[in-house]
């Protein structure tokens, strides 16, 4: 791998070590590196963590959400609705989904919190991509984004926390 990339072995070892620490690969000493499969338990754990941290972020964000941010969330949801009726890839559908959530969470003004949310999202990305290819999953995702937007517009922190939790729970039940 190092030879193919034209780099020394050390940066490859460091990158693989980071991937192992993040749970993406399993390194068999002196043998090979394997991509780690996500078990049902792994996915459930990720979503319990995501639900806790994202509902907390939403509660913090509600105080600072601007009308411009709400409009951006509406726009992202509209793009998701448009993509739902096309043959768009899961990746294409997930771009406005990401924008929707991060527009809200950026209102926390806490970069460390955003970094942790992004890490959990990246770890669950393999599962989400396959989930978004299931029939009806995109429509369900759109439906569960509606209450998040409504609670944000109403500036209701409790309703927002509940909507974020319900949205993430619907994905894991999928």
Asked whether residue 164 carries a pLDDT value surpassing 90, the answer given is yes
Task: Please give the structure tokens belonging to residue 36.
Answer: 């780690």
Q: What is the pLDDT of residues 79-136, one digit of tens each?
A: 999 999 888 898 999 999 999 999 999 999 999 999 999 989 988 887 888 888 888 8
- Say what the pLDDT of residue 129 is: 83
Task: Please give the structure tokens belonging to residue 48.
Answer: 């319990």
In the 3-class helix/strand/coil scheme, how is the chain assigned residue by residue? CHHHHCCCHHHHHHHHHHHHHCCCEEEECCCEEEECCCCHHHHHHHHHHHHHHHHHHHHHHCCCCCHHHHHHHHHHHHHHHHHHCCCCCHHHHHHHHHHHHHHHHHCCCCHHHHHHHHHHHHHHHHHHHHHHCCCCHHHHHHHHHHHHHHHHHHCCHHHHHHHHHHHHHHHHHC
Q: What is the pLDDT of residues 33-54, one digit of tens each?
A: 888 877 888 888 889 999 999 9
Task: Please give the structure tokens belonging to residue 144.
Answer: 């569960």
End-to-end CA distance of the chain: 37
- Of 80-84, 131-135, 143-147, 151-155, the least confident: 131-135
| Share of residues in the chain with pLDDT > 70 (%) | 99
- Asked if 61 and 107 touch (Cβ cutoff 8 Å), the reply is yes
- Say what the pLDDT of residue 18 is: 86
- Say what the pLDDT of residue 169 is: 92
């Amino acid at each position: 791998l190092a030879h193919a990339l034209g780099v020394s072995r050390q940066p490859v070892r460091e990158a693989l070590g980071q991937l192992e620490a993040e749970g993406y690969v399993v390194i068999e000493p002196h043998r090979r590196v394997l991509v780690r499969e996500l078990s049902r338990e792994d996915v459930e754990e990720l979503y319990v963590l995501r639900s806790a941290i994202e509902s907390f972020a939403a509660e913090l964000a509600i105080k600072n959400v601007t009308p411009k941010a709400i409009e951006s969330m509406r726009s992202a949801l509209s793009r998701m609705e448009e993509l739902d009726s096309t043959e768009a890839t899961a990746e294409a559908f997930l771009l406005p989904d990401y924008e929707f959530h991060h527009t809200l969470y950026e209102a926390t003004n806490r970069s460390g919190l955003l970094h942790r949310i992004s890490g959990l999202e990246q770890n669950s990305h393999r599962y989400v991509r396959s989930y978004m290819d299931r029939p009806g999953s995109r429509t369900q995702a759109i439906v569960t984004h509606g209450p998040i937007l409504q609670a944000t517009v109403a500036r209701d922190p409790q309703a927002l926390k509940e909507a974020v939790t319900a949205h993430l729970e619907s994905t894991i039940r999928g």
